[in-house]
Amino acid sequence: MADYILQVKGLCKSFGAVQASQDLSFGIQRGHIHALIGPNGAGKTTVLNLLSGELQPDSGSILLNSEEINKLPVHKRVKAGLGRSFQITSIFNDLSVAENMALAILAGRGHNFRFWKNAMAVDIVQHTLTEALARVDLSGRAEQQAGRLSHGEKRQLEVGMALVGGPQLLMLDEPMAGQGAGGTVELQKLISGLKGTTTILLVEHDMDVVFSLADQISVIVYGHCIASGSPEEIRRNSEVQNAYLGEH
């Protein structure tokens, strides 16, 4: 029996006439890097939004560690072990890089109704901030306003913030998009370094990256999951060839 960290059963979601998810079912095994691929507008981001709780499914269920999380709001799902990065970079543009990371560190440490002590002087921030920034190569940028980082650096920061909370399942929505070649290699290294410790759901268009990193791949086309399996199986799958990979 495989050990599934996340299972999705019969998930449906439509926006008016657009059926963005149609009866999706798949499972993600603990410790795997599970890639979600599909053409533009196939419904990949919608899946992440459904999993994270930003969207409510019309029907179907989502199980995290065998417990239903359908009803939980976004922040409770994070507490339950989900972390993510967004396709459209979403960091705190008005705060400094260090403050961004500090906030990510503090988020998972009880409540933040502490009104007097400087947040940056809190012990846990002092202890972990340097390392957390170094992990995503942003040590030299700590005092910079995050909104002024380059596109690639923003991406790194976002992934770093998602990582620092120690999620059980990390969902990354096209983390390589807009990265230069160097950035892609760096991120790829970072992600493969997480293999085994953090389960990752990776949405990515770069097929080289996907096939070199993923343990499992699910292919989504028009909201349907048309195939799910190991990279080898997916490569051989004729339906996938026709619907998707053939285009490239």
- The least distance separating another protein from the CB of residue 212, rounded to whole angstroms, comes to 27
Confirm or reject binding of residue 43 to ligand ATP (CB under 6 A). Answer: yes
DSSP 8-state secondary structure symbol assigned to residue 140? G
Would you say 52 or 96 has its CB closer to Mg ion?
A: 52
| Interface with Mg ion in residues 85-114 (CB under 5 A) | 87
Burial class for 218, CB neighbours closer than 10 Å (0-12, 13-18, 19+):
buried
Instruction: Find the binder of ligand ATP among 5, 6, 8, 20 (CB under 6 A).
Output: 20
Binder of residue 20, out of Mg ion, ligand ATP, another protein, none (CB less than 5 to 8 A by kind): ligand ATP
Q: Tell me which long-range contacts 188-191 makes (C-beta under 8 A, separation of at least 24).
A: 188/212, 188/213, 190/135, 190/136, 190/159, 191/33
Confirm or reject binding of residue 191 to another protein (CB under 8 A). Answer: no
Would you say 87 or 192 has its CB closer to Mg ion?
A: 87
Binder of residue 151, out of Mg ion, ligand ATP, another protein, none (CB less than 5 to 8 A by kind): none
Instruction: Find the binder of Mg ion among 36, 37, 42, 45 (CB under 5 A).
Output: 45
| Interface with another protein in residues 67-96 (CB under 8 A) | 73-79, 83-84, 86, 90-95
Confirm or reject binding of residue 38 to ligand ATP (CB under 6 A). Answer: yes
Instruction: Find the binder of another protein among 162, 169, 172, 209 (CB under 8 A).
Output: 162
Cβ-based neighbours of 57, under 8 Å, separated by 6 or more: 11, 12, 13, 21, 50, 70
- The three-state secondary structure class of 12 is strand
| Interface with another protein in residues 8-67 (CB under 8 A) | 52, 54
Q: Residue 24 corresponds to which tokens in the numbers above?
A: 């999706």
Cα–Cα distance for residue pair 54/52, rounded to 1 Å: 6
Contact 240, 234 (CB under 8 A): yes
Opening angle at CA 83, ends 101 and 85, nearest 5: 70
Token match 């019309």: residue?
58
Edge to edge, what strands does the sheet with 4-15 contain?
18-29, 4-15, 59-64, 67-68
Paired residues of 216 in beta bridges: 34
At 184, the amino acid letter reads T
Instruction: Find the binder of another protein among 8, 35, 69, 106 (CB under 8 A).
Output: 106
First-to-last alpha carbon distance for the chain, in angstroms, is: 35
Q: Residue 219 corresponds to which tokens in the numbers above?
A: 């292919």
Binder of residue 113, out of another protein, ligand ATP, Mg ion, none (CB less than 5 to 8 A by kind): another protein
Instruction: Find the binder of ligand ATP among 40, 66, 197, 238 (CB under 6 A).
Output: 40
Residues that bind ligand ATP (CB under 6 A): 15, 18, 20, 38, 40-46, 87
Residues that bind another protein (CB under 8 A): 52, 54, 73-79, 83-84, 86, 90-95, 99-100, 102-104, 106-108, 112-120, 122, 161-162, 165
